[in-house]
Structure 1
Amino acid sequence: MNLKRITPIFLIILLISACTQQEQDSVAVPEEIKNVPATYQELQAFFLEWREFLRPDEVNGIPDYSDEAMAQQYDELSDWKNRLDAIDTAGWPVAHQVDWFLVWAEMNGLEFAHRVKKPWKRDPSFYVWFFSYPTDVPEREASNAWGAVEYDYYPKPLSAEDADKISHQLRKAPALWEQARKNLTGNARDLWVLSERSFRDQSADLEQFSALMQSEHPDLAAAALEVRDASEDFADWIASQSSQKTGQSGVGKANYSWNLKKVHLLPYTWEEELTLIERELSRAHSSLRLEENRNRNLPGWEKIDSPEAYDKAVKEAIDDMMSFFEKEEILTIVPNMDPALRERAGTFVESDGLRGFFDEVIYRDPMTMRAHHYHWLDLARMRDEPHPSIIRSTPLQFNIFDGRAEGMATGAEEMFMHAGLYEGRPRGRELVWVMLAQRAARALGALHQHGLLTDFDGATQIASKYTPWGLLPADGGTIQVEEHFYLTQPAYGTSYVIGKIEIEKLLAEYARQREGQYSLREFFDEFNSKGVIPVSLIYWEMTGDRSMLDKALTESKLEDLE
């Protein structure tokens, strides 16, 4: 977990000081906690203490994931839970109760990490240390060792000071990987086999990064090459150990269900998600076939084939979507939206054969992925219009945000299509259903992995089989990376489709309560204002109906995984 963007520690002092009326008179209280109950102020102070606790202890500047350190962290978790339970929430408004449940969910996330996932012990890819590419959700989507280098977080062009910081942090990697050789005693075969590729990819990224830094920051370039060599050594070690691993990598249905309910606050079990995913997969395929019949007399696809054509098509798609938002009263337009989309326009990629799945979609019609880029609107909003709650304005840990972030990005594709985004783009409607089918197909593979019905290779075969037009070969880079990631992160693989379903439920109930006299723009503006948090909590806050959350709170079983 990367806590680089955590609220500054001095706020802990201010918040704790704000917990008594006497100290409120003498300390400047942050605006976001004025005029709220003292116990709610206590929760926010407690949250920041909790985040400090999540950060592992360090030994010689290296995060400590030894058995002893992890056992101590887990032993202390019960005390943190007791402290949270002791906070008196009586009389709190729903918005404040939502914040309490966010902290509660993070504590369950840590429990799940210790009792089931144990990435520091079972998953070598946990120790990947360098990320050159950005993430489109509030926090890096995986379990990662604390302190991993996130190059995209640094302003560009890179300053000399930041280059020194990155060099210093990069050079910690060899010592971390030396520790990891002792920590990694798990027997999860697929996680071991797949982690070798993660480290080979990291090595390639470091080599490219070194070349990029050579002229402006030669010491950073040298550090990147040093760590590249250490990364290759560690990949060789992983490969040497993998042949001895024989155990399962999935977490099992009971654990998967507990994680859905207690960490992601979803009202489903593994079995219920399977039913929903299979239904969405069939709906996507049947809808695609109806669109294909409707378009049967249209010309075939003319894919983008040059950088110039790519830039023109993406620019026009962003122009059209922004115009659509305003004309159809979908979203309130604010200044950061247009640049947020254009900054992530991407570049043309040459290819003699099949590109990655998403490039194949974009090169047919870039509009579909522009809708999915709702992600970047979320992140711009978090940056420029942070939620007044410190708990919500700080990215949630353990991927608790996934249903909201991925569900809205996926839901935007279909919802905006129904609202009229694809007028004049009839073939683009086909791509919306292709995208949904692919998300459901890979979710089905992820469920089968964690339900212990198949292994990783079987999951990629399932995803490939049920993705239309042959766009997702089982041995292709897209699904190989995705199913590996979903294996490391139970619940994430289904979050795109399940989150979309939850948001559709919210829209339906929101409009029903207003007897149809609603504004779509008001709905999305209010929805966005709640933060990137589980949809069950937004549903409660926007409708007054707590039933979605209550179903998630029902009893479920958690089984320790060896």
Structure 2
Amino acid sequence: MMIKKAKLALCAGVALAAATPALAQDRCPIPTGEGSYADLVALYTEFRNWRDDIAIVGEISDSAEWQGIEDWSDQAVERRRRTIAEMLDRIQTLDVAAWPREQQAEYLAVRATLDEQNFLLNVSKPWERDPGFYVDRMLGVTFADLSVNGDDRALLRRQLQGIPVLVEQAKRNLDNMAADYADLALHNLENADGVGHGHPFREVPPAGVIGWYDDMLARADANSDLRADIINARVAVVDFRDWLTEQRPRITADAGVGEENFNWYLEHVKLMPYSARDIILLGERELQRLWSMHAIERNRNRNLPELQPAANAAEYQRRIEETDRRVREFIVNENFISIPPYINELDTNVPWIVRPQGRNFWEEVQYRDPAPDHIHAVIPGHRYDGVVERNNTHPIRGHLTDGARVEGWGVYLEEAMQRAGYFDDMPRSRELIDIFGIFRAARVPADVWLQLNEMNVDQVIRYWRERVPYLDENVARVDAEIYLRRPPGYGLGYTVGMIQMQQLVADAKRLQGEDFDLMAFHDDFMARGRLPLSVLRWEITGIDDEVCQFWDRDPLP
């Protein structure tokens, strides 16, 4: 890798050695102020409260004065910018050099979290660039239970009454819209996403956000006191659709943040030791590796029958239950990871749905064998991971979540469980693991190209569908939208996080030799929380060849 040679020179001579108490300040520019570790905890707690202390969507005060839906007026944005700048100034005044390594690791993770907000406020600016920022907020209220009473019903009414105000706020603020963002918002206003991410199940999915207001109106009794508010909210949403359609011919801006900003984000927020170009190379190499492995696996299994999807919901449920039982037994019996007593039933990520147009990508895999997604997203993946975090009482590690740590762990598990032997008697299921990995790897360069404005959403969809078996247009579009509109770089976190996770396991095994215990390692890893993987690698192994560069914080480009 060619990134940041000047900064890496600070770490020259640091061998891959056994753990040390903390980084030496003479090698790395660690703050040497006066603040204590308790001040870091207090600052992070203050940040979390500030971040979460935002008006509920559609909330109107008792005096009927609009309080703002996450008020993104110019004045409110400037207040936020001043607050986060002040917090970043304060975090630089702490005496971090005097702390033990575990606390130094938490410092880097907290500062990265502050810088993520800093980047959102000063570079991403979704409130002025992305109409979907408001469309998302228009949608959520439509899923409400209309039978609620008392304070809950009053809140629902205020939320509905807030939608017209939200639309007017959107029209005022959206003065720098990006073309991809506008097209995605218009699509979502009028069309079902074809996936149903977070939507209540409907046999015939409503036609976009506007369709969900129709669904809500159909659920309201003829004499319901909410009908007028639902109708007024729908009128406002249609008006926003019409306004955005009128604006669209004049919208030409790119959606990505650009290479200089993205490289800053990778270093200061993702805490990754790679540039954008490095990451493209990593993703393309992993995509080639997995396709070659898939070709070999397919040849190996050439005389075996293909896996068939479950025929009905009952059969699919039996497959899920058997997979859950088998995975739980395997990870304990094979010394892979322990199951804490608070880990109970964790459900599944992919429900049974019969779609007129046929199965989507996730269903093509999951209905054949639930194991790939169950391992990644249920146990010992995301749902297991999330419950462990909720049971972590640490004031920082129990609340801080890095996306690449979460997704990297999930993708790491897919191939790790395969190598551990879970799929030894399931040869065709090994092919599904390959397909999952292929999709994760294909996301990596495309995620970067979106942020560098070298591809748009339509081009990314074509790129993916040419390379990923079973991938349908709906899942491809939804994923492209997620990874363009989420904080930059989320899509690359799956495969790059896996690479970082594999690096950590390799380092730990090499340092511990025959004393290395996989279950003990995984349990310790989980107990440390969801900090960025480069930081966890340093904390666990003492190897500081990556983290040294992160101490020298550059201003935003």
Partner of 2:426: 425
Amino acid at match of 1:377: Y
- TM superposition score normalised by structure 2: 0.81
Q: Contact 1:371–1:409 (CA<8 Å) still a contact in 2? A: yes
In the alignment, which of 280, 302, 316 is matched to residue 308 of structure 2? Answer: 302
Q: Take 2:272 and 2:551, find their aligned partners in 1: how far apart are those partners? A: 9
Give the alignment of 1:106-125 within 5 angstroms: 106-125=113-132
Matched residues in 2 for 1:102 and 1:276: separation? 24
Q: Which residue of 2 aligns with 1:30?
A: none
Residues 170 and 529 of structure 1: CA distance in aligned 2, closer, same or farther (over 3 Å): farther
Residues 128 and 546 (structure 1 numbering): CA distance in 2 closer, same or farther, change over 3 Å? farther
Distance 1:239 1:247 in 2: 16
Q: Secondary structure at the match of 1:172?
A: helix
- Describe the SS at the equivalent of 2:72: coil
Deviation of the 1:249 alpha carbon: 1.2
Which residue number corresponds to residue 42 of structure 1? 39
CA distance in 2, matches of 1:327, 1:456: 45
Q: 1:240 to 1:285 in 2, by over 3 A?
A: same
- Contact 1:170–1:224 (8 Å) recurs in 2: yes
Shift of 1:55: 5.5
* Contact 2:350–2:362 (8 Å) recurs in 1: no
- Report the counterpart of residue 472 of structure 1 in structure 2: 471
Pick from 531, 539, 542 the counterpart of residue 541 of structure 1.
539
User: Equivalent of 1:273, from 270, 279, 283?
Assistant: 279
Structure 1 pair 507/246, CA: closer, same or farther in 2 (3 Å)? same
Q: Is the 8 A contact 2:138 2:163 kept in 1?
A: no
Taking structure 1 as reference, are residues 220 and 273 closer, same or farther at Cα in structure 2, changes over 3 Å only? farther
TM-score by length of 1: 0.80
Deviations 1:373-396 (A, max 9, x none): 11111121222x1241x2222245
Is it true that 1:393 corresponds to 2:398 in the alignment? yes
Does the Cα contact within 8 Å between 2:72 and 2:173 map onto a contact in 1?
yes
5 Å-filtered alignment, 1:184-203, equals 184-200=174-190, 201-203=208-210
CA change 1:465–1:333 in 2 (3 A) is: same
Match of 1:463 in 2: 464
CA 1:375–1:218: 2 relative to 1, 3 Å: farther
* TM-fit CA distance, 1:162: 4.2
Cα distance change of structure 1 residues 131 and 66 upon mapping to structure 2, 3 Å threshold: closer
Q: Deviations 1:474-502 (Å, cap 9, x if unpaired)?
A: xx110111112211231111011011111
After TM superposition, the structure 1 = structure 2 runs for residues 168-247 of structure 1, keeping only pairs within 5 Å, are 168-200=158-190, 201-208=208-215, 214=220, 226-247=232-253
The counterpart of 1:486, out of the listed 466, 483, 486, is 483
Query: Equivalent residue for 2:370?
Result: 366
Between the aligned residues of both structures, percent identity stands at 29
Give the SS at the match of 1:393. Answer: coil
Distance 1:175 1:87, change over 3 A: same
Deviations 1:148-186 (A, max 9, x none): 76979x9xx978654544443454232122111100001
Determine the C-alpha separation between the residues in 1 that align with 2:231 and 2:530.
37
Contact 2:350 2:363 in 1 (8 A): no
State the Cα distance separating 1:352 from its structure 2 match: 4.4
From 325, 330, 333, the equivalent of 2:336 is: 330
Residues 88 and 322 from structure 1, CA distance in 2 versus in 1: closer, same or farther, beyond 3 angstroms? same
5 Å-filtered alignment, 1:146-157, equals none
Distance between the aligned counterparts of 2:45 and 2:305, measured in 1? 58
Q: Could you tell me whether the CA contact under 8 Å between 1:211 and 1:221 is conserved in 2?
A: no
Which whole-Å CA distance do the structure 2 matches of 1:99 and 1:486 have between them? 26
Compared CA separation, residues 310 and 47, structure 1 to 2 (3 A):
same
CA contact (8 A) 1:277 1:443 kept: yes
How far residue 319 of structure 1 moved from its aligned partner, in angstroms, is 1.1
Closer, same or farther in 2 for the Cα pair 1:56/1:65, shift >3 Å? farther
- Residue matched to 2:81: 74
Aligned partner of 2:20 in structure 1 is: none
Structure 1 residues without counterparts, runs of 5 or longer: 1-36, 133-147
CA RMSD of aligned residues (A): 2.9
1:515 aligns with 2:513: yes
* Aligned mates of 1:359, 1:125 — CA distance in 2: 27
One-letter amino acid matched to 1:176: L
CA displacement, residues 63-100 of structure 1 (integer Å, 9 cap, x when unaligned):
32112321343244332222111122242122222222
Residues 1:332 and 1:171: Cα distance change in structure 2 (over 3 Å): farther
Is the 8 Å Cα contact of residues 254 and 557 (structure 1) preserved in structure 2?
A: no
Aligned pairs, number: 492
Q: Distance in 2 between matches of 1:221 and 1:272?
A: 54
Structure with the larger RCO, 1 or 2 (CA within 8 Å, 6+ apart): 2
